[in-house]
Chains A and B, each alone.
Chain A
Amino acid sequence: MTHEPRQLFGIFPSSGVPIYRQIMDQVAVLVASGRIEPGDFLPSVRQMAADLEVNPMTVSKAYSQLELAGTVERIRGQGMRILAPDSMQLKTSRLRELGPYLEQAVAHAYQLSLSRRDVLDVLAPLLEKLDDE
């Protein structure tokens, strides 16, 4: 199944995050949420560039990086196909991705003069959404 770029992606060219990075991050979220599934094809570079109104080189770059990361594979004549996530390989990069967000939360807590106990109290109910392992 292929998808319409604008239905899937919300790209902000004037944000601090490079467009290729935004595309990569959003593909990861789309796969994680099940909105696109292993076996699905990403829209073609040309379609993405035209629909999202961005430079095709940027899209190519995102796709090449996704290929390197093992998120997609290039199928000759057809495009980029989503691969089933390799749980081992992706976890380390997912953990690394979480780091900065937690760091920001801690910095914020410090500015609010909150203690470790306070932060854990806020965190505990939120963590219930996650699995144990």
Chain B
Amino acid sequence: MNSSVPPISIRGITKCFGGTAALSDVSLDVGRGEVLGLLGKNGAGKTTLIKCALGLLRPDAGESLIGGERAPDMSPCTKARLGYVAQEPAVYPWMKVAQAIAYHGAFYENWDADFAASLLQRLELDPTKRVGALSVGQHQKLAILLSLGPRPDILLLDEPVAALDPAARRDFLKMILDIVANGKRTVLLSTHITSDVERVCSHVSILRDGRVSFTGELDALKDEVKRVRLSGLHDYSGNLRLDGVLRVEREGDSAILTVRGNIAATTDSLRRDTGATAAIEGLNLEDIFLELHHDATA
């Protein structure tokens, strides 16, 4: 196993369904110790990407390496290091929770029964309840427990908290932070909840219509996309849509611009061209997400 390959390495994946490309040439890496938040609207291709990454779906082009091995041909050793929570976890509806845990755990050499027991308590699951009778949220918690039991060091989580209430979600985020505290575990987390990403992720990839519109450090993204307020434009009629300007909203003497890239340079150009005062404001991830999805022609 090549240890210089990132634990999750997705390379040029294209996947079509019927005539439509659900994913087009998607590449992203998650390095050891990193937590990557995969953000995208519903239908952007997040679940398809995760399934291709794991080898559950066969891409039309490209490949995915997990733990340095090609995904469809992962060795049992690598599979044992992997934790996966699917978007619609379908786990043993006929069993009781305790049975499902025991059954599932039996497949793993490195299943940590004590840890699983502590999670059972922490997640407040009733071991005597039939899995099929669990609520959506409880089902999701069970799926999380089952994925974490073998103490995996590579985790792929597809909207693992979509059905959880804020308290449970917050606790789950703490769990993730505990898991990555030693710097040796790797997590790819797909979600549409930007505040979760801001708290827990070191890196973010934004998927839009099957393509990556940003991938990199979360902090870098926050430094890269900002709002610029111009005041004192007077009758300036020149072009405000300089290179790097994603959006312009003008109202007479003032304007609000969304700028991407070299913020300082673009802002200086705007000041020089217009003679207006410029104030730069930071945007949070939700704002950035919305700006990157705004139609450029609007």
Contacts and interface: CB of A to CB of B under 8 A. Distances in A.
Asked whether A and B interact, the reply is yes
Interface of A: 13-21, 46, 49-50, 53-58, 61, 100, 103-104, 106-107, 110-111
Contacts of B283: 16
B285 to A, nearest CB: 7
Nearest to B194: A14
Contacts, number: 78
Given A55-B200, A57-B34, 9 more contacts: A13-B198, A16-B283, A17-B222, A18-B218, A18-B223, A20-B219, A50-B181, A53-B199, A110-B277
B232 interface: yes
B279 interface: yes
Interface of B: 33-35, 170, 173-174, 177-178, 180-181, 183, 194-195, 198-202, 218-219, 222-223, 226, 229, 231-232, 254, 277-287
Contacts of A21: 219
8 contacts: A13-B198, A16-B287, A18-B222, A19-B219, A50-B181, A57-B33, A104-B279, A110-B232
B180 A56 contact: yes
Contacts of A107: 229, 231-232, 277, 279
A19 B285 CA distance: 12
Contact of A18 (B199, B219, B280, B286): B219
B231 A110 contact: yes
A100 B222 CA distance: 18
What's the dominant secondary structure at chain A's contact region?
helix
A46 B183 CA distance: 10
Nearest to B288: A16
Contacts of A16: 222, 226, 281-284, 287
